[in-house]
Structure 1
Amino acid sequence: MRPPDLMSSAWRCDHCGPTPPLHRTERISSEILTATTDRAAELGFPVWCLWPLPTGWTVTGVAWVGDERSGISATALACTGPSPLTDGPADLVFVAEELSVGLGARLAGLPGPDPGPQLSELAQSSEAHAKVRTGGRPTPLWALDTPDDRSVYVGEAMGRWLWAVAFPAPAGYLLTEPVELQDLAEWQPTELVFGASSPYLQG
């Protein structure tokens, strides 16, 4: 990635052309999360989080895509906790993004920036595989074919893609139960617990 310079006011990739940068933090805390959610709130952009968090789960990362010139085009938030179906921790990453950003697809291990034909076919041929609530509204999600080490659900909320990427794959079971996603840009619970940084928003 090349930063803006005298020749261009946009961040640029040598292969893709103008590309908004991904901003990640090395650690997570209430102050760091608030800095991101305040920025998102100014633009009406959601930052989705499981709420209430399941027992033993913590918020472990936040990221956003954009720059001062173009604003925010995607946000991501990671949660980590114990999974009764696997040994060791499980991670869930929630991504809200505009069309053609590609952060959700990257985390999902899929080519292309958007879920595309796979989601269109699923939505026409099957019932939703998960039904979460976003901002109090029912939101259907469909499971995509992805690498074996993760499970991925995708749908639409507030006019943007909503991705839920679970590591390892069995951790996706959490989304088969009724769950609520809270937009932290709208309201950040004071009871949020923070943990060590998730590797999925670091690499």
Structure 2
Amino acid sequence: MSLAASCPRCTSPVSGEGSSFACLTHGPTDPLWRPDVAGYDAFAELVGRIDDAPTYLPWPMSPGWTIADFGCVGEGPRVRATVTTIVGTSDLDGDVEVTVVSEDPGVGLGARCSGTTYDDPGPQISNGPPAIKVRAGGRPVPLWLVDGTGDDDELLARATFAGEADGRWLWLVMRPASAALLLSDDWLLADVTGFGPEALEMPFGGPRPTW
């Protein structure tokens, strides 16, 4: 299944071709390339579009967890963001969804995935001690809790963490919010574009995220 172009900030399709795309709502934009169904062939196409932009995935994945979605904004040397979503279950939360976004400032993909108001995390980043630290690309990365918007049900539906890794925003979105208890300081985010034989072990499947 090949990758299809859409807007990184909203669910609208985009029109255009080559290096010129536009969204009816947000105007000219670098498109989000994303498959209708996650699978190995589509992931190989994604890797072919990416130059050196990191594409993070919690790794190793727990038994029963699968990769439900992935994508990138732009392509080649102009890749401005990457995203992966994995799904699984926990004894406490039932069905769990984890989305990881690495993006340049101003792209807006992390905000779309997390349901926050602004394209970038904002002043909450580095305001006080971080809520958690993860390891991304072999380095410790502090992440702060980003306040959500909406009513109480929406706030309970997800928890959003964000920080900076290698000059890009790193977003971690957990659904439901209580799934954030799965996080620990030894949580590892691996850049899957550098995988060798491990890529053959990557499990795909599960429901596509609603963002």
Q: Same fold (TM over 0.5)?
A: yes
Equivalent position SS for 2:80: strand
Equivalent position SS for 2:173: strand
Q: How many residues align?
A: 191
Does the 8 Å CA contact 2:65/2:87 hold for their aligned counterparts?
A: yes
Does the 8 Å CA contact 2:85/2:209 hold for their aligned counterparts?
A: no
Equivalent position SS for 1:105: helix
Aligned mates of 1:165, 1:66 — CA distance in 2? 22
Scaled by the length of structure 1, the TM-score of the pair is 0.85
- Alpha carbons of structure 1 residues 124 and 3: separation in structure 2 relative to 1, 3 Å: same
Q: Which protein, 1 or 2, shows the higher relative CO under an 8 Å CA cutoff with sep ≥ 6?
A: 1
- Alpha carbons of structure 1 residues 11 and 83: separation in structure 2 relative to 1, 3 Å: same
Residue in structure 2 matching 1:115, options 100, 116, 121: 121
In structure 2, the partner of 1:53 is 61
In the alignment, does 2:135 pair up with 1:133?
yes
Where does structure 1 lack aligned partners over 5 or more consecutive residues? Answer: none
Equivalent position SS for 2:163: strand
Does the 8 Å CA contact 1:91/1:198 hold for their aligned counterparts?
A: no
Does the 8 Å CA contact 1:77/1:93 hold for their aligned counterparts?
A: yes
Does the 8 Å CA contact 2:39/2:204 hold for their aligned counterparts?
A: yes
Where does structure 2 lack aligned partners over 5 or more consecutive residues? Answer: 1-12, 149-153
* Identity in percent: 36
In structure 1, the partner of 2:8 is none
Q: CA deviation at 1:2?
A: 5.0
- Alpha carbons of structure 1 residues 198 and 173: separation in structure 2 relative to 1, 3 Å: farther
Q: CA deviation at 1:144?
A: 1.1
Aligned mates of 1:29, 1:2 — CA distance in 2? 23
Does the 8 Å CA contact 1:49/1:183 hold for their aligned counterparts?
A: yes
Aligned mates of 1:183, 1:113 — CA distance in 2? 23
